[in-house]
């Protein structure tokens, strides 16, 4: 067998170009040695910008099928080709009818009397050549009507051609204008202002291990009936030995409880609880480092301005899922409004208290998770924002964050949290420096 032979399943990934070494520590962090495993760098099924990384090949009657749905084809093609089609359709129709009028004039003998004879009536006045017939075709189809050239009653065929060209011209105008308007108004471009976080995170939320990612809307116009869904894509071998290169598994984001429908005014963190029905139920932090899967996330809704449905997509590879991280806050309350700071949209911070075992191990071994009320980065920001507002109400002072100091009540509350929940000073400093 040749060494350069393509892999049987090269449609998904190549064995040679997709392998790299990753390093994992021993079980529970013990041991002096390291375990080296080979991890495949899988190709994305859905790119970060939402485009599907799929190429069709060996399609039977592809051209005929695309021409059968010519309107959708015109809407889907690029603008440069759309403009070429738009120009060619009109120019070719003008040339075709111009040729028809030239043939009628030639057969009737209009070209043999270029000077004009009082006893001779041409089919079309002032059409003495192909150029004149082409100009008459343009005037007829575009209804310019300069009045210099016109059809006479001498030739019924010429009258029929004028009527027929007018009808065909209306059909071409409706088709091309409709295709351009549909192409301009399609909601696909609305997805450019719908934002997904660069990474997904896994952390504790309300005492449960959860997968989270963030979505945002960069426009003030709303997405009506916005809802999210997600799928996990990975290769799988069935019990019968059949290889499925891209097996799609639904990830529950609260469909049964209605939590998948969101009010997307400010950035929202989408939550997937890793429970017994989750495909991530048996994955730990160590397993995540060598896992081979892709999470495709989808946001759908209607554009408020046009009431057309739009869809924004993105994906996260296993290497883009951060274990033990949370998203930094982006929504801050001011005096009379809420402010969204998108400079923190993609940023995360580490939560050292996150268990490294899987959700399955937590359930079976009854792992004790830290209290969900422990002092964390969001609480610190809340205290600092409250201190800032109180100092402004008292009479001003610097608004620089470094110069803010907790008031007496905040300090007492902070000391109480330290005493009752055993706050780790090192972890607190690490999070407060973000």
Q: What are the pLDDT digits (tens) for 135-177?
A: 999 999 988 877 778 888 888 899 999 999 999 999 999 999 9
Q: Which of 286, 294, 396 is nearest to 40 (CA)?
A: 294
CA pair distance 162, 166, nearest whole angstrom: 6
CA pair distance 271, 212, nearest whole angstrom: 5
Cα 410-411-417 angle, rounded to 5 deg? 90
Cα 360-362-368 angle, rounded to 5 deg? 175
Place 10 in a pLDDT band, splitting at 50, 70 and 90: very low
CA pair distance 340, 175, nearest whole angstrom: 44
pTM for this entry: 0.66
Q: Which of 356, 381, 384 is nearest to 431 (CA)?
A: 381
Q: Is 351 left (phi over 0), alpha (psi -120 to 50) or beta?
A: beta
CA pair distance 340, 219, nearest whole angstrom: 12
Q: What is the mean pLDDT of residues 381-402?
A: 51
Least confident of 39-48, 297-306, 377-386: 377-386
Q: What is the pLDDT of residue 266?
A: 92
Cα 327-330-331 angle, rounded to 5 deg? 130
- Residues 6 or more apart in contact with residue 361 via CB below 8 angstroms: 284, 367
Radius of gyration, alpha carbons of the chain: 34
3-state secondary structure of 219: coil
Residue spans of alpha helices (H) in 313-376: 359-365
pLDDT tens readout for residues 17-60: 444 434 444 333 333 333 434 455 678 899 998 888 888 888 88
3-state secondary structure of 333: strand
Report CA-CA distances (Å) from 106 to 111, 130, 139: 6, 10, 20
Torsion of CA 195, 200, 203, 206, to 10 degrees: 40
């Amino acid at each position: 067998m040749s060494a350069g032979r393509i892999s049987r399943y090269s449609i998904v990934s190549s064995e040679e170009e997709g392998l790299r070494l990753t390093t994992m520590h021993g079980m529970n962090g013990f041991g002096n040695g390291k375990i080296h495993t080979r991890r495949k760098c899988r190709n994305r099924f859905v790119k970060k910008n939402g485009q599907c990384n799929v190429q069709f090949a060996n399609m039977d009657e592809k051209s005929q099928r695309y021409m059968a749905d010519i309107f959708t084809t015109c809407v889907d093609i690029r603008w440069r080709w759309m403009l070429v089609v738009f120009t060619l359709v009109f120019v070719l129709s003008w040339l075709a009818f111009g040729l028809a009028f030239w043939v009628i004039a030639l057969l009737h003998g209009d070209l043999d009397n270029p000077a004009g004879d009082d006893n001779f009536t041409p089919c079309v006045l002032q059409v003495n050549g192909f150029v004149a017939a082409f100009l008459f075709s343009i005037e007829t189809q575009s209804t310019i009507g300069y009045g210099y050239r016109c059809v006479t009653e001498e030739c019924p065929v010429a009258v029929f051609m004028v009527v027929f060209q007018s009808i065909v011209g209306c059909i071409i105008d409706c088709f091309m204008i409709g295709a351009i308007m549909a192409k301009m108004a399609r909601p696909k471009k609305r997805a450019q202002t719908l934002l997904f976080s660069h990474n997904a995170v896994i952390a504790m939320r309300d005492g449960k291990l959860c997968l989270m990612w963030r979505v945002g809307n960069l426009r003030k116009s709303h997405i009506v009936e916005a809802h999210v869904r997600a799928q996990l894509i990975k290769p799988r071998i069935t019990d019968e030995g059949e290889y499925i290169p891209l097996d799609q598994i639904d990830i529950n984001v609260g469909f049964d409880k209605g939590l998948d429908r969101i009010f997307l005014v400010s950035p929202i963190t989408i939550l997937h609880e890793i429970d017994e029905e989750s495909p991530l139920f048996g994955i730990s932090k160590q397993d995540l480092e060598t896992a081979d899967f892709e999470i495709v996330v989808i946001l759908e809704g209607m554009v408020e301005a046009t009431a057309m449905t739009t869809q924004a997509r993105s994906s996260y590879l296993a290497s883009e899922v951060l274990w033990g991280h949370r998203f930094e806050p982006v929504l801050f309350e001011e005096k009379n409004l809420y402010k969204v700071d998108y400079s923190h949209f993609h940023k995360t911070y580490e939560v050292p208290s996150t268990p490294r075992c899987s959700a399955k191990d937590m359930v079976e071994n009854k792992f004790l998770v830290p209290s969900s009320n422990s002092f964390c980065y969001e609480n610190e920001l809340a205290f600092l924002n409250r201190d800032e507002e109180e100092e402004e109400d008292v009479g001003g002072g610097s608004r620089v964050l470094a110069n803010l100091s907790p008031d007496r009540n905040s300090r007492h509350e902070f000391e109480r949290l330290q005493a009752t929940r055993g706050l780790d000073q090192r972890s607190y400093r690490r999070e407060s420096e973000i």
